[in-house]
Chains A and B, each alone.
Chain A
Amino acid sequence: MKTIQLDDAGRLRHFLTVEGLPRSLLERILDTAESFSGVIEKSVKKVPLLRGRTIINLFFEPSTRTRTTFELAAKRLSADVLNINVATSATSKGESLLDMLRNLEAMQCDMFVVRHADSGAAHFIAQHVAPHVSVVNAGDGSHAHPTQAMLDMYTIRRHKGDFEPLRVAIVGDILHSRVARSQIHALNALGTGEVRVVAPRTLLPRDVGSLGAHVYHDIRQGLKDVDVIITLRLQRERMQGALLPSEHEYYQLYGISQERLALARPDAIVMHPGPINRGVEIESAVADGPQSVILNQVTNGIAVRMAVMSLCLEGRGAAEEEFA
């Protein structure tokens, strides 16, 4: 997985996971995003970097926000964008994934942005695409959501600067979270002082410490003196899986309230990958409060995705040029 993402010259070819990527490359993504943030704020929000390129958003799982920001990012780079939503259910097996890829490749696209419910799906697609096609993982199962993690890093850097002195707490359903896994890898690669995960045992994967995080079960200890609080979305279906007794008890034990926010450093920021469940994982007063940067995250998502797309396709000829 580490090698498939980079080409022989060490450039980004696919962006599937943050794991294994060097700090310098992550910083390059952040720096490139920085340079694009100016574009977004201008009245004409376009640069011609990917003019003539075709990007396909291939979403096997419903998503509005992620798909929209990918689409906006591609359009601001002047690429042509195609959105394909594939309704999948375990029982209705039609065309195989590989056949579908072959067909889309035949349309001479340059990049697939893939979201899929199966962990490893983006990796599988990257292994099977033609050599000129890049794959960007927009979330695969519980494995990785690297662009979300990078936009979170971008947000943290904008507010906090250097990662080294920071304490970051990730609170909530780590077990099912592709976002949390990618964040932990990114925070560690960028040299973050301390990464914490805060959750009951039922929402923590086995050996989570091996990812590079300190485990807390008590929210009060977990939030003490942190600079960044990242709250994760709690899916309603977790109640059925006997992972938690009720939303009410979860909020009592792990909800981010103003009172708990006070345990963190006074200048701590609060983040959430969205969409938020008010009163389940976070109190409205915190979500809408002065320390919340939740909406900045959304804005930053466009610049970061522009950066990832342009870096993946940078210096690589369009399909027809390469085969000329």
Chain B
Amino acid sequence: MNRLTLSGGRLVCPGNGLDRVDSLHVADGHIVAIGAAPDGFQADHTLDANGLVVLPGLVDLAARLREPGEEHKASIASEVLAAAAGGITSLCAMPDTSPVTDTTAVVELVTRRARQAHRSRVIPIAALTQKLAGEQLTEMAAMKAAGCVAVSDGGRPVMNTLVLRRAMEYAATQDLTVMLTPVDPYLSEGFHMHEGWVATRLGIAGIPVAAETAALARYLALAEETGAQVHFQRISSGRGAAMVKEARERGLPVTADVAMHHLFLTEMDVSGYDSQCNVQPPLRSHADREALRAAVADGSLQAICSDHQPHEPDAKQVPFVSAEPGISGLDSLLPLGLRLVEEGLLELSTLLRRLSLEPAGILGLPGGHLQPGAPADLCLLDPEQIWRLDTDTMLSRGKNSPFLGWEFTGRVRQTLLQGRVIHGQAGTPEPVAG
């Protein structure tokens, strides 16, 4: 029996519009009451949340934890530490591991390692096809039983449209969300940045927006016929966001996310051949960034993910086009999100919709709420603290971030997973006298 009371914090819930200073009571890992404690409730611990903002823990729809297979870049243990420190209580591990997450054995390995780390919850996403080769379906029902809630192409598009259609139908039968990265490999493989005037100046072969929209059109055509619940990962262009919006208005059961860095960076950031800005999908034009921001504000894009891809230093210490793509994004997810609030693009509650409520909903998870019955996955934020992201403050083992040196306002003080402190000084909450 573990009962906890958080007192004095500003509670912000994106689901029910709650935004006030009040107490929150937790028993057995769940929120049991807000305001007055339930009859007979005796807290074993109290946490003083005075001056802090209490948020539902973040849910990140796309992270690479590099385990199994690329432990020289990062491990589950190293990355859940960074996630917990960043207020992220649940994160999806993409299936492009080595071996690929296409069997229950790998699913169980990932969940076991995550459990042993005692930090954030890791949700393994299963591969849509065996070895992500786009040929043979995976045993989705078995992996669902082992804890998977979604299947994904892991960023490697299934080129055979018939296989893709059947994979989507089969996933729909198992009631699994299908996560797809809209990218046409013929228009993107071997190319390294957005096709536009900067790529022309730098002499870098460019990836056109059509790499995204052509793939989206193909996926939408199949979504229409299969009835699959499809989630598009990492929309990078204004036109892509508009296609998702239009499809949703037609009533298709599709959702989409955008990587946080696409809301801040553009092709211009590549101008000095900065290999930290080598990402897939590529950083696009200023107009795309503005359109993505608008789509996040009006809800045409439902979620923002970290698209976390930690690398060892050598992966980026090479000329731009030889660098491995990706940004280590767990540490900067919430700080950058708070900056969107600071800049006036989003209300705090809207930000929490994009970072917590909607991503949880996309996966059918109960998170994202501060209300009785919800899991006590909580993030306690000091809204005034000013700090700088650098290689010392970054906890992910991958220090590959173009945001190093940025100053942020607002820092996570404590993170709780099912009422248990997984990050923060008061790791052992003080027992209440009496």
Contacts and interface: CB of A to CB of B under 8 A. Distances in A.
A211 B321 CA distance: 21
Contacts of B201: 19, 181, 210-211
A208 B198 CA distance: 10
A104 interface: no
Contact of B319 (A120, A206, A208): A120
B387 interface: no
Contacts of B273: 1, 119-120, 123-124
A207 B197 contact: yes
Nearest to A140: B203
B319 A118 contact: yes
Contacts of B341: none
B215 to A, nearest CB: 19
A7 to B, nearest CB: 18
B2 interface: no
A18 to B, nearest CB: 11
Interface in B203-219: 203-206, 208
Interface string B169-210: 000000000000000000000000001110111111110100
Given A96-B317, A96-B318, A141-B321, A120 B202 contact: yes
Contact of A119 (B197, B204, B271): B204
Nearest to A145: B203
Given A118-B322, A123-B273, A143 B202 contact: yes
23 contacts: A1-B272, A96-B314, A96-B317, A97-B318, A98-B318, A119-B203, A119-B204, A120-B203, A120-B204, A120-B321, A123-B273, A124-B319, A140-B203, A142-B204, A143-B202, A181-B200, A181-B203, A206-B199, A206-B208, A207-B196, A210-B197, A210-B200, A211-B201
Contacts of A141: 203-204, 321
Interface residues of A, number: 25
A245 interface: no
A142 B196 contact: no
Nearest to B206: A206
A97 B322 CA distance: 11
A233 interface: no
A116 B319 contact: yes
Interface in A199-225: 205-208, 210-211
Given A98-B317, A210-B200, A211-B200, 12 more contacts: A96-B317, A96-B318, A97-B318, A97-B319, A120-B202, A142-B204, A142-B205, A181-B203, A206-B197, A206-B208, A207-B197, A210-B197
Nearest to A4: B272
A120 B270 CA distance: 11
A56 interface: no
B267 to A, nearest CB: 11
Closest 3 CB pairs of A and B: A143-B203, A142-B203, A120-B273
A121 interface: yes
A116 B322 CA distance: 12
A178 B201 CA distance: 10
B321 A118 contact: yes
Interface in A38-90: none
Contact of A124 (B199, B203, B318): B318
Interface in A124-142: 124, 140-142
Interface hub of B272, B319, B320 (most chain A Cβ within 10 A): B319
A144 interface: yes
A144 B201 CA distance: 9
Given A120-B321, A124-B318, A206 B202 contact: no
Interface string A106-128: 00000000001011110110000
Nearest to B205: A142
A305 B317 CA distance: 29
A206 B207 CA distance: 11
Q: How large is the interface on B (under 10, 10 to 19, 20 to 34, 35 or more residues)?
A: 20 to 34
A208 B208 CA distance: 15
Nearest to B193: A119
A142 B202 CA distance: 8
B203 A144 contact: yes
Contacts of A210: 197, 200-201
Nearest to A90: B322
A1 B197 contact: no
A123 B320 CA distance: 10
B3 to A, nearest CB: 56
A119 B200 contact: no
Given A1-B272, A120-B273, A123-B273, A205 B319 contact: no
Interface in A1-22: 1, 19
A309 to B, nearest CB: 23
A97 to B, nearest CB: 6
A123 B271 CA distance: 11
Nearest to A210: B197
Contacts of A97: 318-319
Given A19-B201, A96-B314, A142-B204, A119 B320 contact: yes
Contacts of A205: 199-200, 206
Interface in A210-257: 210-211
Contact of A120 (B197, B200, B320): B320
B196 A119 contact: no
Contacts of A207: 196-197, 200
A297 B204 CA distance: 27
Interface hub of A96, A116, A140, A205 (most chain B Cβ within 10 A): A205
Nearest to A120: B273
Interface in A180-194: 181
Contacts of B272: 1, 123
A211 B203 CA distance: 12
Nearest to A141: B203
A119 B203 CA distance: 6
A147 to B, nearest CB: 16
Given A205-B199, A206-B199, A124 B320 contact: yes
Given A207-B200, A210-B197, A1 B205 contact: no
Contacts of A98: 317-318
B271 A1 contact: yes
Interface in B307-359: 314, 317-322
Nearest to A97: B318
A315 to B, nearest CB: 26
B203 A178 contact: yes
Interface string A277-313: 0000000000000000000000000000000000000
Interface string B421-433: 0000000000000
A100 B369 CA distance: 54
A97 B272 CA distance: 19
Contacts of B319: 97, 116, 118-121, 123-124
B195 A206 contact: yes
